[in-house]
Amino acid sequence: MLEFHRLTQRPKDVAASLVIVGVFEERMLTSAAAELDAASGGLLKRLMESGDVNGRVGSTALLHQIQGLSAPRVMVVGLGEQRRFDAARFLRATREAHKALKSLPIETAASYLTEVDVPKKDGDWKLLQSALAADYAAYKYTATLKTKPERTELKSVLFSASGDSAILERASAIAAGVRLARELGNLPPNICNPAYLAEQAYDLARRRPEVKVTVVERDEMQTLGMGALLAVAQGSENPPKLVVMDYAGAAGKPVVLVGKGITFDTGGIDIKPAAGMEEMKFDMCGAAAVFGVIEAAAALKLPLHIVGITPAAENMPDGRSYRPSDVIKTMAGHQVEILNTDAEGRLILCDALTYAQRFEPATLIDIATLTGACVVALGAHASGLMSRDDDLAHELLIAGEQSYDRAWRLPLWEDYQSQLETGFADFANIGGKYAGAITAGCFLARFTEGQRWAHLDIAGTAWETGRKGTATGRPVAMLMQWLCGLV
């Protein structure tokens, strides 16, 4: 975990391992870069004239041992065309700069990118986003890797910026939540199973005494009538868990967050193709995000009451597995026909959403890697958002824009509900070929009548695909932005 501090010295005087400054295309220097250029006898301008530093957005150039400077290294980051510079280009430049730091033997970095004017964004926004970008880039997954020789690594980042003195505390708390969510998502399923998630909740409560944990076991689920959650879990040797984390930062009705915790998803009897199935360890990233939010809220001591609920199970093929055409009874009393065992996330969520209503939530939000259809619709850039409450949807969309952890609203019209109709139960667990993300939301909506509820489908945003892809920790930043706005 990085430490964040404010800078008081100017670029030529700061005694950090490395100084970061930005330059625009067309040989235009930012004020911090101009100061370094003057102190070095015009070195930056000469490098731009020669083309060694080009200013293209996100490009980086590392300079060593420049006379006249206290820091032994300078990283020059391209900001693109000044007339087109905006929040997106600022974030890209900042992220690329911190990615480039990861391989360097440095302990401290001093960034002056936060001095650059970003249209429609204030100093607090620049400081928060820069700190989160730095910690995101610094994160390394090591849990199941061979121990490597110790090397010098980045420990702290200093930022030059005006603004609220508490903003770095917020950044540290959110960064801790994002890290926890990423780590849980990245762990292999033979480690991170339902029991492990329960253990991690107890560990969180030991770190954060404001958090109380309850774990609902299989026997109690049967007593409660959680037939949907139990059906999904019955093909696995690992028993299901319903993990409840209650953060009592204030009295009153809570915000309740429900995160899908399928710790591995084979698809069940409707088994998935082998190619890419290894990524289904990430199918619990909704649960991981709930853990991350509780961690961040408790670290920040937010004066809110927040309850996090994570139904955790494995979806496995076995002689005891639930089958296509089974009819199961949910905790809410609905009879559901199973048309596809790979539409399991909504089944564990529906019982958890019903259970959540015992807390009389002020707001109820579920977070789930729910549908491939959402990935087809929105790709990896935006989470899918569905809600019948226009005000809540607007609040979350704005929080997404502010945090740059964005969502896009999809309709939840009654017109789509007919796709769930069946002649053998109250409704089916899938709605057919078309509008799969929306009909999944329609399914969940049947279990949230009368609630101020929203559904976030993070199937495209929860992890980066590929052999080296890792969990992203989304949408912890969006939810924390929204929660901080409630205070």
Q: List the catalytic residues.
A: 272, 346
Residue with tokens 């560990």: 203
Transcribe 384-453 into DSSP letters: EEEES-HHHHHHHHHHHHHHT--EEE----GGGGGGG--SSSSEES---SS-HHHHHHHHHHTT-TTS-E
Burial class (CB in 10 A: 0-12, 13-18, 19+), 49: exposed
In the DSSP assignment, the letter for residue 462 is S
Task: Return the closest-CA partner of residue 16 out of 102, 111, 98, 101.
Answer: 111
Transcribe 229-265 into DSSP letters: HHHHHTT-SSPPEEEEEEEESSSSSPEEEEE-EEEEE
59 HSE (CA, 13 A, CB side): 16
Length of the chain: 487
Q: How far is residue 112's CA from residue 452's CA, in Å, rounded to a whole number?
A: 42
Cis? peptide before 475, omega within 30° of 0: yes
Are 100 and 60 in contact, with CB atoms under 8 Å apart? yes
The backbone torsions φ and ψ at residue 379, rounded to the nearest 5 degrees and listed phi first, read 65, -150
Are 255 and 304 in contact, with CB atoms under 8 Å apart? yes
Q: Max CA-CA distance within the chain?
A: 81
Q: How far is residue 460's CA from residue 189's CA, in Å, rounded to a whole number?
A: 20
Burial class (CB in 10 A: 0-12, 13-18, 19+), 401: middle
Q: Which helix (H) or strand (E) holds 28?
A: strand 28-29
Residue with tokens 């609902």: 216
Are 75 and 97 in contact, with CB atoms under 8 Å apart? yes
Q: How far is residue 485's CA from residue 396's CA, in Å, rounded to a whole number?
A: 10
Hey, which residues does 5 pair with through a beta bridge? 158
Task: Return the closest-CA partner of residue 345 out of 443, 427, 250, 482.
Answer: 443
The backbone torsions φ and ψ at residue 228, rounded to the nearest 5 degrees and listed phi first, read -75, -50
Transcribe 123-150 into DSSP letters: HHHHHHHHHHHHHHHH----TTSPP---
